[in-house]
């Protein structure tokens, strides 16, 4: 899954940061550092989108998969031996 990166949004955000002169408590002196901060914000946004999509897909799969009535992990061997199911292979 390829996530489109909107470079125009990054550049606009970088100019906003540069004009404001700071991000949070950090002072931004140059456009370079404003651009670095804008990329950090975009990467965080993309990570959030991918994580949200992943968990929505996992939840959809969990809702559609129904457990079977016979699970291999739930075999009780005492019942198997008591009902003569084991023939001594």
- How is the chain split into domains, by residue range? 7-65
Extended beta strands in the chain, E state? 22-23, 26-27
The encoded tokens of residue 16 equal: 């906003």
pLDDT category of residue 12 using cuts at 50, 70 and 90 = very high
The encoded tokens of residue 9 equal: 């949004």
pLDDT tens for each residue of 74-88:
555 665 666 665 566
> Please, which residues bridge with residue 55 across strands?
none
Instruction: Give the integer Cα–Cα distance in Å for 58 and 62.
Output: 6
The encoded tokens of residue 76 equal: 């009780």
């Amino acid at each position: 899954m390829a996530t489109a990166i909107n470079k125009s949004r990054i550049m606009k955000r970088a100019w906003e940061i540069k004009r404001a002169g700071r991000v949070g408590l950090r002072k931004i002196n140059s456009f370079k550092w404003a651009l670095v901060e804008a990329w950090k914000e975009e990467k965080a946004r993309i990570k959030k989108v991918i994580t949200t999509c992943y968990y929505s897909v996992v939840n959809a799969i969990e809702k559609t998969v129904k457990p079977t009535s016979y699970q291999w992990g739930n075999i009780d061997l005492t019942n198997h031996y008591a009902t003569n199911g084991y023939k001594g292979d």
